[in-house]
Amino acid sequence: MEELCTERLVIREFSLTDADFVVQLLNEELFLQHIGDKGVRSAKDARKYLQDGPIASYSAYGYGLFHVGEKKTGKSLGMCGLLRRNDQPHPDIGFAFLEQYHAQGYAYESAMAVLDYGYDAMNLDTIVAYAGAENTRSIRLLEKLGLRFTGETRIDGIPEIQSMFSAAQQER
C-alpha cells in the first residue's frame, strides 16, 4: 500500500521499527479494557506481534492495521486499519490511539481514509466493525462513519458479546 495522506495524517504500513510505539499503545489502559491484552510487553514482543499480525496481513490480504502518524511532526498517534478474522465473513475496521490524542478527530479522519481505501483500492463490498456495548465512544464514531448497528455476535478470542456494525460500498 502506498501511504494514505489526509489533511493532518500519514497512514502507512507498520514496520518492525515501530516496535517501541506498539508496546506503548497496546499497554494503554483503554486499549487493554476495550481491545484486550495482546501480551506485548517488550520491543521483542512487539516485533513478533507486528510480524505475525499486521505485516502478515499485508502479504495475505493487501491490508491490515496501519500506523497513523501526524503529518506535520511525524509523531506516532495510533493505528487504524482493516482486519480479516478467520471466524467472520467480512473484514472489519479497527482503531486505537494513544490516550493523549483522543477526542481530536484523528480516529475519524484515519478511519474515513481507511474505509475509502478498503472500498476503492481493495474493492471490498462490505466492511464491518465490532465494539463492546460499553464502548460508547467507539460506537458513536462508527455511527458517524456511516456504519449501522446490525446485531450482536461473538468473535474468537473475545469473551464478551460484541455489537456489530456494517456498511456496504453501495450505501456510501
Provide the residue-wise pLDDT of the chain in tens; the chain has 172 residues.
889 999 999 999 999 999 999 999 999 999 988 888 899 999 999 999 999 999 999 999 999 999 999 999 999 999 999 999 988 889 999 999 999 999 999 999 999 999 999 999 999 999 999 999 889 999 999 999 999 999 999 887 777 889 999 988 656 5
DSSP output for the chain: -PPEE-SSEEEEE--GGGHHHHHHHHTSHHHHHHT------SHHHHHHHHIIIIIHHHHHHS--EEEEEETTT--EEEEEEEE--TT-SS-EEEEEE-GGGTTSSHHHHHHHHHHHIIIIIS--SEEEEEE-TT-HHHHHHHHHTT-EEEEEEEETTEEEEEEEEEEEGGG-
Predicted confidence at residue 171, as pLDDT, reads 62
For the chain, domains (ranges, CATH) are 4-171 (3.40.630.30)
Predicted confidence at residue 170, as pLDDT, reads 58
Predicted confidence at residue 119, as pLDDT, reads 95
Predicted confidence at residue 145, as pLDDT, reads 95
